[in-house]
Structure formats: structure tokens, C-alpha cells
Amino acid sequence: MEKIGVIGAGSWGIALAKLLATNGHSVIVWSIVEEEIAMLKEKHEHVDKLPGVKLPDSISYTTDLKDAIAESDMLVLAVPSVFTRSTAKSMAPYVKDHQVIVCVAKGIEEETLMTISDVVEEEVKNADVAILCGPSHAEEVGIGLPTTVVAGAHSKATADRVQDIFMNEVFRVYTTPDMLGMELGGSLKNVIALAAGMADGLGYGDNTKAALITRGIAEISRLAIKMGAKAETLSGLTGIGDLIVTCESKHSRNRKAGMLMGQGYTMDEATKEVKMVVEGIYSAKAALALAKKYEVEMPIIEAVNSVLFENKSAKEAVADLMQRDKRTEHADLAWES
């Protein structure tokens, strides 16, 4: 049994807290919101973000960050990506040397273009930072539906340890050293999911969705590989797997926000309706900046940015994508004649 501190009491943090407690670990959950902690203590359920998922009585809760960190063997950082740096900065004084921090949020910091793990490593220099991601909606993990994810770390020993702690009969964990590929796949797919949602909101069909998913992973892969990630990662669970579930699922907040925008909502109206952090909106500008920095063509990413920040309608953006110049699908394939 290990002592695990879950930093963040959103739907994903709570789902993982339940999973870890079910696996026999001692779990403490931290939130900065006193009312949230009071609710969790009283009801053993997050009635707002994960209704119907009853939590084991063994889980404890706190608003004291030091309490959540000091006695824990491992930390799970589950705050939204936009709060990662500020939270990591607050955590830093209490983190022990080589204490493992498992990052489970997905995003790219807009100002620095850094991944989540890079941000945490910059703020908590003595930590051993790992990642856990893949096609894994909290709503399904919370009720024990079979799910498969990937643990990434700098060392095999750390990845194996994360795998051992999280894995059970309904939650399968693979390992990889390609943290960059995992994080780029997990972040950029949220932007593509906004486009997929817009297509749904416009009433388009399966053909459109298949095209967005397929061309979306092509865009993500072009950028990620140029940045040093591995092609195998983008064809795996944290690449195409995560993209499929986020573009298709009724649980996807990015798809839902995109769908509302496709129906005519503004970005602000859509995010208010979703009532949760829509990570793709925060990653969109960073994705476009990375595309320009590395000179990679990413037309879907560009189209999403034009809808989000340039007042272009979703219908116009799709039309522009369809009417781009002719080209071959794979430029590196040779013709026989």
C-alpha cells in the first residue's frame, strides 16, 4: 500500500482517487475550495462533477496543501492545465526530493509553449515527474468501465511504479519513455475535438467526423515528430486513441463546446454552458504558435483558432478547409510512373 495525495478535486482527480483507494492505497484529496472539500467529506461523492459515483470511506480530504503532500509517497496533479503552474509553485516547498508527481491534465502553456510536465519540472525542481494519459473519461473510470491508458516517465523504474499503483482488472496501464509524444497528442487532440464538435453542431455526418479525426492525427503527428516525439506514440493510445474518444464521446467537454459553437454560440457562451474548463480553447493558440515555430502546416488547428478568436463562423471555417489547394494525401509516397 502506498500513500497517494491527489491534488485537485475535479472529475478526473476524483475518479482517480476512487481507483487508487479501490486498489488498496491510502488516498488524500486536496482542493483549494473549502465548500468542495466539505461536500466530499459529507456526501462521499462529488455531486457537481461526478454525480452518482460513491467514494470509499477510506479517502480523506483537505484544504491544506502541506497535509496532502508531506505524508504522501506519490502525488497525482489533477488541476486543470491553466492552474498547473500556480499550483506547482505552491506545492514546491513541501515536495520531498525525488517524490513522484504524476501529471494527469492535458495542455500546453500558452505563454511559454511548455508541456505540463515541463511546467511542473520548472517549478518543482526536486520532483520525479511522470504522466498518465490516454482515452479515459472520468465518468467511465468512476464507474469501473474497462479503460486503457499509458504511464510515461524519464526512467523505466518510475513508469513501472506508476503502472503498478494504478493498474487493476478494469484499468490497464502501458508504459512509455516518450513523454513529449504523449503530452502533444493529449493536448492537441482537444483542439481537433473542438472542430469535431463544430461539425456535429452544424449537422454534418460521419464522413466529416472521420475526415477530421484522420486529418487531425496527421496534423498532430507532423508537429510532434518534428519536435522530437515518436511516430509510434501518435498511432497509439495517447495519439489516435485519445483523439477518437474526445471527438466522439458524449462526455467530451471539448466536443460539447465545439458543438455549441457550431450551433451559433460564441466561445464565451459555449464555455459557460459546458460549466467546466475546456482545455482545447487554452491549447488552441499554443498549438498554432508551435505550428508556426516549427514551420508545420496545421490547417484544422488554424481553422479552429479562426472560429475561437477571429469571429469566423464554423460553417465558413469548414468551407475554407474543403476548398484548400489540391494535394496528395502522403507526399513521401512515390508514384510508379
Distance in angstroms between the alpha carbons of the first and the last residue of the chain: 64
Which residue carries 500546453 as its cell? 108
Which residue carries 473519461 as its cell? 137
**Phi and psi at residue 60, in whole multiples of 5°?**
-110, 165
User: Do the bridges between strand 128-133 and strand 147-153 make them parallel or antiparallel, or are there none, so unpaired?
Assistant: antiparallel
Q: Say how many CA atoms lie within 13 Å of 257 toward its Cβ.
A: 28
Distances (CA, A) of 186 to 287, 298, 317: 12, 16, 23
**H-helix or E-strand spanning residue 303:** helix 299-309
27: cell is: 488516498
221: cell is: 503527428
Among the listed residues 118, 133, 114, 167, the one whose alpha carbon sits nearest the alpha carbon of residue 238 = 133
CB atoms within 10 A of CB 30: 27
Catalytic annotation, residues:
189
- Separation of CA 17 from chain center: 17
Q: Amino acid identity, residue 242?
A: D
322: cell is: 474543403
Q: Is residue 125 within 8 Å of residue 119, measured between CB atoms? A: no
DSSP codes of every residue in 83-143: GHHHHHHHHGGGPPTT-EEEE----B-TTT--BHHHHHHHH-TTSEEEEEESS--HHHHHT
